[in-house]
A and B are shown apart, each in its own frame.
Chain A
Amino acid sequence: MSLAIEVKNLNFSYDSEEGVQTIKNVSFSIEKGQYVSLIGHNGSGKSTLAKLLAYLLEPASGEIYVDGIRVNEKNIREIRQTIGVVFQNPDNQFIGSTVEGDIAFGLENRAVPREKMIELVKKYSRLVGMDKFLNKSPDELSGGQKQRVAIAGILALGLKIIIFDEATSMLDPEGVEDIKKLIFEMKKEDPELTFVSITHDIEEAYLSDKVIILNSGEKYMEGVPEDVFADEDKIKSIGLDIPFVLQVKNALKKKGIETPKNIRTIEELSNYLCGK
């Protein structure tokens, strides 16, 4: 499979004179169709990395390729047609004055014909559960509802790569599940859809295809969740925790009960144990 995102020796700092480097020599690659979790502490450079990928910031050095396109000033239009970011604060990314206007904003920028736009706005507002609020203005919505709108606004664009920068932080657990389900449905429809989730949720990271851990601007670990979280000491040494399911599995192991590697959720684990 070809690569969706390829990052080579990426460096970046917000203020070049102070010498604090936000991103230090980071390299990684993400295959098409993968669900990748990017985890790390506050200030580890996760959000900066997301902005660099979408060329919202310019790298100091290093190369980024998105769907085979070099990320630079020249290719900015193609990049924006390929990759989209949903940010954390829903207030500051609500551009339209109503829900429908905001979902349509990105489509307007792409000069999508009006009939198509109406269709897409209807479809995606329904998918995120905001179809009853189409005429509402942002100050009538809750933070979670605004986040749903922001998510719909990016999903409606039909991009190949979507980055969620803690985009579900304001949703209740049920809402987070809804959005996750929606993503998986969309991935089923389009197996090439690549999804990068910047998150603090270790459980979510455990369910993804790949985990990248950043620590103070450097890539700390990278790999499939089983391998990454297997090294418990290394994870805990930077203050992160390992997923609950894995903790249970490790505890069971100590008691001499082996569980299969592919079990990742509580339900699966309890089913396995009860079935046994």
Chain B
Amino acid sequence: MSNVFGKLTPYNTIIHRLDPRLKFFALIALMVMCFLPYGNYTNRFIVLGVLALIIIVIMAIAKIRISSIFSSLKSLWFMMIFLLIIFLFVQQGVDTSSLHPMIVFPNGYTIYWEGLFQTLHVFLRLVLMICLTLILTSTTAPMDITYALDWYLYPLKLVKFPTQIITMIISLALRFIPTLLDESQKIMKAQKSRGVDYNRGFLAKKIKSVTTLIVPLLVSCFSRSVELSLAMDARGYDPYGKRTSYKVLRFKLRDAISLLIVLLIMALFITACAYSSFYPGADNILNLLFGIGAF
């Protein structure tokens, strides 16, 4: 569970050293690229494949192990099976003439290949998004992410919106994720030693046993927050006061080059999107490049 958000890895690769503002921008940009419409399934899978390749290269540079994704995916299996069932058995659109039948039941009910593709497509998108987030969180300290966020929220400061409070809240939330995970582990152990079984039983029983975790966790959360606010007060924190910043972000040459690369990648994907949407006649990239027809 602790790997869903990723943990800062103790390396100092070029990706680690990049400006967090740039990394934040790249994350959002590449995520948007995942979601652009690329026409038919052949195009979509080609484009996502290219994106996956780019992401794998970045992960290799950042020394993130591929296996670290799998633990994040564990919780997604249930959703994937659910989606597969929905997409297979609920027919897509009224006009089924353009779809490709996979199984035709005797009563005329048809399961189409598109259902499977749709599921795979959604799955691939999700995996890519998780990978992107993982790259950001495992190469950037939480505080740096909030500094970046603070920078992006600058326009709101002009209308007197207290952005520094928002970023402080976010940074504290990020700061306490590992602490609370640790705490929940401790509570689970304590409850297990009192006879609570978290692993067995049906859903209702599981939910019941989880309450034995949630309630003490919430209680400790509140007492922690009280102590935290006292400690912040004791060190003179004033949300509306003028503060200086210990950390200063500097946009260096390597950041400029990386920005250029990100923009280039964006241009590539937007071209692919525009081509598949507006180019008359040729409806897939394979056809354009190699003259092969596909789905």
Residues on A lying within 8 angstroms of B by beta carbon are 51, 54, 56, 77, 80-81, 84-85, 87, 89, 91-98, 100-101, 104-114, 117-118, 121, 137-139, 150, 153-154, 157
Contact = CB atoms under 8 A, between A and B. Distances in A.
B234 A105 contact: no
A110 B236 contact: yes
B242 A117 contact: no
Interface string B220-234: 000010011011111
Contacts of A51: 230
A137 B235 contact: no
B244 A93 contact: no
A101 B147 CA distance: 12
B244 A108 contact: yes
B175 A108 contact: no
B143 A101 contact: yes
The main secondary structure of chain B at its interface with chain A is: helix
A113 B230 contact: no
Given A137-B8, A157-B235, 5 more contacts: A56-B230, A92-B224, A97-B142, A106-B235, A150-B231
Given A114-B245, A137-B8, A109 B228 contact: no
The main secondary structure of chain A at its interface with chain B is: helix
Nearest to A57: B230
A111 to B, nearest CB: 5
A104 B224 CA distance: 21
Given A92-B231, A95-B231, A97-B143, A104 B236 contact: no
Nearest to B246: A104
Nearest to A112: B244
A93 B179 contact: no
A87 B230 contact: yes
Q: Which of A77, A108, A109, A150 has the most CB of B within 10 A?
A: A109
B233 A56 contact: yes
22 contacts: A51-B230, A56-B230, A80-B233, A80-B234, A81-B236, A84-B235, A92-B231, A93-B227, A93-B231, A95-B235, A95-B237, A96-B143, A96-B175, A97-B141, A98-B143, A104-B246, A105-B237, A111-B242, A114-B245, A118-B246, A139-B178, A157-B235
Given A112-B244, A114-B246, A121-B246, A139 B228 contact: no
A85 B234 contact: yes
Contact of A117 (B172, B178, B235, B244): B244
